[in-house]
Structure 1
């Protein structure tokens, strides 16, 4: 039997982009799909766009849910996942596009191969109007020339954490098995990510499995001025997330080389020392507890290594500086 693939399309007030994303999902050459749209929008524009496609030849594949209130991006992504009936999942962010053959090309690497946790690929970068800008850079891995270009999951995790880079890609780029994601989307080790929700889930999927990386662009990632990743809060959340997943990966014994962990902690610590005080002032102390929590965790880990003793002392001093910035109740 041909397995069902759920394309999950969470959206918020982007009717024009949403329509383009929806069309790219409807144009998949793989026939057995459902498209789950969960709408956080504050007006009816998106609903009107979706309604215009419900009577199209493939309109029966669309399931549309309008949220009564804006539940936020992460909760909306998780709602899509809960509603999905497919054996396989491919998220589609409302400003991105799928290559027509994406599902068809990726699915064979997952079916009948339980050791594969996810399939990803290069992507086409497009601008706000959809014009091609460039193809994403090949990740720094020696990809196999065999029929199945497999990357060891834990090796991939370690490399992402070492560089603090999402080499797997944004949600749109990845196809995975629904049953393999044991925690809510955006969660790893019981910790919900603030910003790097995709990284958290990719790591969760790869702790005990491997990845397939295809060297052809099978999705388009749109860069535009209104993306949340351009804000200071996003940068803060992103850095906190990298600290969280690194320390949780340590607890799960993902690092097979203590020197790798020392290198990562040292780099994260320097970023914290160079930025957290300024970030706290810029945000008027609204996120001080979140910042202090990460400083404390890094200090505790650093104290356990002679190579990180100097970093531990600097982190303790930063704790005092941040506490001094705390506003009186």
Structure 2
């Protein structure tokens, strides 16, 4: 495989129509025009099908689910619909910078054997302004690999798995994936907010590589209305995380990766994240969530 075919950009949509339209326009504005956008609408907002019809672009296909599939179900459907060698799962509130497809194509051509391609990401807020959160700073300063010379990095194996299980510094909607690696793995139906990390760890176990390209190509929107933020305030996402980390730790022990298994059992960054969610739970007067968050953050790791 020497080059990427037409890049499939999959957009599983549910939520704010205006933000979704901005995401679509960011695809239309690409400098490299060799892409195909597939929007799978899991909602029922009025006027959305008509808006897509008005675009008049044969590279854009729109479909609306007959019934609501939920976030993971819609992700799985998007993967099933991928036709090209590589694809991106764009968030419906995120934005591609104009050079995204161009950047990804260059990374794939340089490192064709990888399965995961992470470009440079700028975090923005609800209004599209650059934003810095404690979580993003921790990702950047403590967990993301250092690359002072600005070259692409190729990472793999147990060191990468241990690194990501200690603190996941990837931005899932910005990643480009090699389809033939992802399709046999897919997204787990029993996970709703950590399903991306679960799939990535499985890919790494199978010997796949991650390419980190420092070229800024994506704008990731972080706001309080996201599913992960809402579940964090209640503490629900951490119940899922505990289950996942315990399962994957046992699996990695069987796989012969003890360092990665220890990182999974400790999951220090997720514990710190739970502590950062305490003020929100207190503001919402959710005493049940406060107890869950404290319990998760302070439970002794094995």
Q: What's 1:92 paired with?
A: 90
Q: Does 2:184 align with 1:183?
A: yes
2:224, 2:266 → 1: CA distance? 33
Q: TM-score, normalised by structure 2?
A: 0.77
**Contact kept? 1:127, 1:224, Cα under 8 Å:** yes
Match of 1:168 among 167, 170, 185: 170
**Contact kept? 1:127, 1:133, Cα under 8 Å:** yes
**Contact kept? 1:4, 1:85, Cα under 8 Å:** no
SS in 2 for 1:64: strand
Matches within 5 A, 1:5-84: 5-53=7-55, 55=56, 59-84=57-82
SS in 1 for 2:48: helix
2:209, 2:43 → 1: CA distance? 37
Q: Which has the higher contact order (CA 8 A, sep 6+)?
A: 2
Which range moved further: 74-83 or 231-240? 231-240
**Contact kept? 2:252, 2:261, Cα under 8 Å:** no
Match of 2:253 among 233, 236, 250: 250
With over 3 angstroms needed to count, the CA separation of the structure-2 counterparts of 1:177 and 1:45, relative to structure 1, is same
1:235, 1:266 → 2: CA distance? 13
With over 3 angstroms needed to count, the CA separation of the structure-2 counterparts of 1:154 and 1:102, relative to structure 1, is farther
Q: What's 2:214 paired with?
A: 215
SS in 1 for 2:215: coil
Flag the structure with larger Rg. Answer: 1
Aligned-residue CA RMSD (Å): 3.3
**Contact kept? 2:162, 2:259, Cα under 8 Å:** no
**Contact kept? 1:195, 1:241, Cα under 8 Å:** no
Structure 1 unaligned spans of 5+: 276-280, 284-309, 313-329
With over 3 angstroms needed to count, the CA separation of the structure-2 counterparts of 1:107 and 1:236, relative to structure 1, is same
Q: What's 1:319 paired with?
A: none
Structure 2 unaligned spans of 5+: 276-286, 290-299
